[in-house]
Chains A and B, each alone.
Chain A
């Protein structure tokens, strides 16, 4: 994942592990780190949906900022929303449609979104995996990314002798993987 270092540096690990409701409440209290954590958590899905909605790069930028601005302006209502993802996805789809059709001069409220429900679900699952990975300590995160994404490392990893059952300071596959799966379950993956 690129493009996240600047904002990430403004946000400590503790915030990544907070639930949405806690972060939204902190945003209401003008906590910038909480806002940064939300940007980290949901920025990629908002951007991806806008990007895949046949918009120009300027329009994508506009949709992205409009969605976050709407959230800022409705924090007091949204912080009670049980499913923030759904709220953000709906706003993004709506805004993408609006911006796209505004260009064509025929905005209609009843138009169907460009992305199917299945595509959105797939994006959300990717996002959840990324959120789970982001919430882990850096050594574990690196190990798991290599293990899951780098196919060349698969054979080497598994040829190694079995890992011990206790979690030491050094990350080991068993502990990191168990943590990841537990986090994914918790997130409703």
Chain B
């Protein structure tokens, strides 16, 4: 019994063969050629899966964030008994604006919302045109904790492993970092019991 070429089996499954050839293949399959039958069934299954198309690809920014998390390494020995919480990026206004078709949305200002354990961190990066730098305004909000959990915490901005800027949160968990040069940073927010790590914070004009 001579087997049917695989591309003809595909054409058979797609129903695009002339009637005479289709009948010949059907006859071959009915006679029980195990190899062709197995291939044919696999092709049918593949075509059926192609029909469904329910799988959705994650957006680039989310993949990049998952990539950044892999690079994130908690400096446990420096934590001073604080719980180290990596922040997950929930929303990025630049991405949202791009989806709406605003190509230059990243330049004017960028709003980022992070979540780390029981904390939300809101960041607003405002581009300061003359200085070609960013002002970063942030607020940490505890969810289910007292507000003083985020009061007077240390805020440290690192470029690679170098400390670029440092400040403190006020009694409401707010902070301001002025004239941050363009670059990719990591931001650490250190409170009494927790340290929040924001990895690969991108203070960039265009991406």
Q: Total contacts A to B, CB within 8 angstroms?
A: 142
B53–A126 touching, CB < 8 Å:
yes
Does A4 lie at the interface of the complex (its beta carbon under 8 Å from any beta carbon of B)?
yes
Q: Is B165 located at the chain interface by the 8 A CB criterion?
A: no
Instruction: Knowing A6-B63, A127-B55, A185-B42, say if A62 contacts B90 (CB, 8 Å).
Output: yes
When each residue 30-51 of chain B gets 1 if its CB lies under 8 Å from chain A and 0 otherwise, what string results? 0000000001001101110110
Evaluate whether A158 and B17 lie within 8 angstroms (CB atoms) in the complex, with A32-B71, A68-B69, A184-B46 already known.
yes
How far in angstroms is the closest Cβ of chain B from A44?
Answer: 5
- The answer to whether A7 and B67 touch (CB under 8 A), given A43-B57, A48-B54, A173-B10, is yes
Q: Are B50 and A58 in contact (CB under 8 A)?
A: no
Per-residue 0/1 for A100-128: is the Cβ within 8 Å of any B Cβ (1 yes, 0 no)? 00000000000000000001001101110
Expressed in whole angstroms, the minimum distance between the Cβ of B22 and any Cβ of chain A is 11
A16, CB-defined interface residue at 8 Å:
no
Contact mask for chain A residues 54-90; partner B; CB cutoff 8 A; 1 contact, 0 none: 0001110110111011001000000000000000000
Interface pair A32/B70, CB less than 8 Å apart: yes
Chain B residues lying within 8 Å of A125, measured Cβ to Cβ, are 45, 49
Residues of A within 8 A of B67 (CB): 7, 10, 32, 35-36, 39
Categorize the interface residue count of chain A.
35 or more
Complex Cα–Cα for A25 and B50 (A): 32
A137 to B163, CA, bound (A): 44
Closest to B72 in A: A72
Interface flag for B7 (CB, 8 Å): yes
- CB neighbours of B49 from chain A (8 A): 122, 125-126, 129
Instruction: Please name all residues of chain B whose beta carbon is closer than 8 Å to the beta carbon of A32 when the two chains form the complex.
Output: 67, 70-71
User: Which A residues touch B72, using CB under 8 A?
Assistant: 72
Cβ of A181 under 8 Å from chain B: yes
Add 4 more A-B contacts to A69-B88, A126-B55, A129-B49 (CB < 8 A): A52-B54, A65-B69, A147-B10, A154-B16
